[in-house]
Copies of this chain bind each other. A is one copy, B any other.
Amino acid sequence: MKTIKAGIIGTGFIGPAHVEAARRLGFVEMLALCEANPELARSKADKLKEFLADKEIEVVHNCTPNHLHFDISKQIMAAGKHVISEKPLAMTTTESQELVDLAAKAGVINAIDFNYRYYPLVQEAKAMVLSGKLGDIFHANGSYTQDWLYLATDWNWRLVPQFSGKSRAVADVGSHWCDCIQFISGRKIVKVFADLRTIHKTRMKPKKEVETYSGKMLQPSDYEPVKIGTEDYANVLFEFDNGASGSFTVSQCFAGRKNRLYYELAGSKCSVVWDQERPNEMWIGYREKPNELLMKDPSLLSERARAYAHYPGGHPEAYPDGLKNFLLRVYSYIAGTSKEIDFSTFQDGHNELAICDAVLASAEAQKWQTVAY
């Protein structure tokens, strides 16, 4: 297979994860890494221009901080390159819609990293919906809970609206939950009612910045108080386009949960429950027979999900493998060895921003709000 050459802009927690996942594919070569920081100083901007002018690079991963996503994805597409963006796609739905339109016009392949879709057992849940094994969807519930912003002394650029957006917990991790549940159910969230809460209304900002997820190990010696306006905690009720309903909770202040995306999907034939912190097992609930605990075992999975399980049963796969699965699909499509867009695209990124907008509007108005996709 022809080697595809790629580059990456932005280096935080997720940039190196992309690099490693791409290497595993065996037919992608990471040519260059280009740092991008919030200031994007002139010298950096020049370096970016050079990078995008590199003819060898066919694909660019946009792993910059949130507020740069829009501008940099535009530049990538303007350079005629395929683009794999981190989420959120942009800061507003106006921007994200523009990116969707630009991608269509440019004819470039566009993808967004909703990586939790790519776990074998998330795919199995979708396969169960598609095959009718789950039956009609009765309701969907769940949560996404973390503790990396648990303390008032935890600080990160995601706490600052100009870098991260007006919504924090919902936009950052709630969007993953929504993407997962919509992907599995095949249904769109059309209405929301949201209650957003800021648990630490003032946080102590350390003088030097702290990386996402790694902050816990630092002992900052010096802080300044900063008022916080974005939510630490949210409860969101929603309705799907078929009238089924559900809810989810998001918290970044739940001690002991590190990155727990959890869902409970109730159907008319069975239920499925999955916890990202134990990703190799799915609970399947029945009324008339014993519940099941399905392991990630290729020999037990549907054909669809088996394609996401690269190791035998009892050889657990996890977070890095989800990202590999995502890139495998995107790059196989780029390489032409896959003819199907079986990955999350800019449209999905736009959809999540539209839900976030509705969440913010609902919380403000304290009313149900229709999602304007």
Nearest CB on B from A144, distance (A): 10
Query: Within 8 Å of chain B (Cβ to Cβ): is A143?
Result: yes
User: Which of A42-50, A87-95, A210-218, A345-353 contacts the other chain?
Assistant: A210-218
Query: Within 8 Å of chain B (Cβ to Cβ): is A291?
Result: yes
Residues of A327-373 whose CB lies within 8 A of B: 366-368
- Residue in contact with A320 in the complex, picked from B23, B143, B285, B317, CB distance below 8 Å: B317
Query: Within 8 Å of chain B (Cβ to Cβ): is A299?
Result: yes
Task: Tell me whether A251 and B320 are in contact (CB under 8 A).
Answer: no
How far apart sit A283 and B148, CA to CA, in the bound complex (Å)? 19
- Residue in contact with A138 in the complex, picked from B253, B280, B298, CB distance below 8 Å: B253
**Residues of B with C-beta under 8 A to A235:** 141, 237, 245-247
Query: Within 8 Å of chain B (Cβ to Cβ): is A151?
Result: yes
- Chain A contact-residue range equals 35 or more
How far apart sit A316 and B119, CA to CA, in the bound complex (Å)? 12
- Residue in contact with A214 in the complex, picked from B151, B247, B312, CB distance below 8 Å: B312
Task: Tell me whether A255 and B233 are in contact (CB under 8 A).
Answer: no
Residues of A125-153 whose CB lies within 8 A of B: 138-139, 141, 143, 145-148, 150-151
Task: Tell me whether B254 and A266 are in contact (CB under 8 A).
Answer: yes
Residues 229-268 of chain A, each 1 if its beta carbon lies under 8 Å from chain B, else 0: 0000101010000000111010101111111100010110
Nearest CB on B from A42, distance (A): 30
Query: Within 8 Å of chain B (Cβ to Cβ): is A293?
Result: yes
- Residue in contact with A319 in the complex, picked from B151, B285, B315, B367, CB distance below 8 Å: B315
**Residues of B with C-beta under 8 A to A253:** 138-139, 266
Nearest CB on B from A211, distance (A): 9
Copies in the complex: 4
- Residue in contact with A24 in the complex, picked from B20, B237, B258, CB distance below 8 Å: B20
Residue of B nearest to A195 (CB): B237
Task: Tell me whether B139 and A233 are in contact (CB under 8 A).
Answer: yes
Query: Within 8 Å of chain B (Cβ to Cβ): is A277?
Result: yes
Task: Tell me whether B285 and A147 are in contact (CB under 8 A).
Answer: yes
Residue of B nearest to A135 (CB): B255
Nearest CB on B from A199, distance (A): 5
Query: Within 8 Å of chain B (Cβ to Cβ): is A278?
Result: yes
How far apart sit A286 and B147, CA to CA, in the bound complex (Å)? 9
Task: Tell me whether A300 and B290 are in contact (CB under 8 A).
Answer: yes
Task: List 11 additional contacts besides A214-B298, A256-B270; criterion CB under 8 Å.
Answer: A139-B251, A216-B299, A235-B245, A235-B247, A247-B249, A256-B271, A258-B314, A276-B314, A280-B318, A310-B320, A311-B319
Which A-B residue pairs are the 7 nearest by beta carbons?
Answer: A256-B285, A259-B314, A258-B314, A213-B312, A258-B313, A316-B318, A216-B299
